[in-house]
Structure 1
Amino acid sequence: MVHQIHTYADLRKQLHDDLRIQHPEWVQPNGESPLCDSYEARLMKTLQSLNQSKRYGFSDRRQLEQPQA
Structure 2
Amino acid sequence: MVRQVHTYADLRKQIHDDLRIQHPEWIEANGESPMCDSYEARLLEVLRGLTQSDADKSDDRPQD
TM over 0.5: yes
**Can you give the 5+ residue segments of structure 2 that lack an aligned partner in the other structure?**
59-64
Question: Which TM-score applies when normalising by structure 1?
Answer: 0.79
CA distance, structure 1, for counterparts of residue 56 and residue 7 of structure 2: 21
Q: Which runs of 4+ in 1 moved over 6 A?
A: none
Number of equivalenced pairs: 58
**Can you give the 5+ residue segments of structure 1 that lack an aligned partner in the other structure?**
59-69
**Percent identical residues:** 69
Question: Which TM-score applies when normalising by structure 2?
Answer: 0.84
CA distance, structure 1, for counterparts of residue 41 and residue 6 of structure 2: 19
CA distance, structure 2, for counterparts of residue 37 and residue 47 of structure 1: 15
Structure number having the greater helix percentage: 2
1:23 matches 2:23:
yes
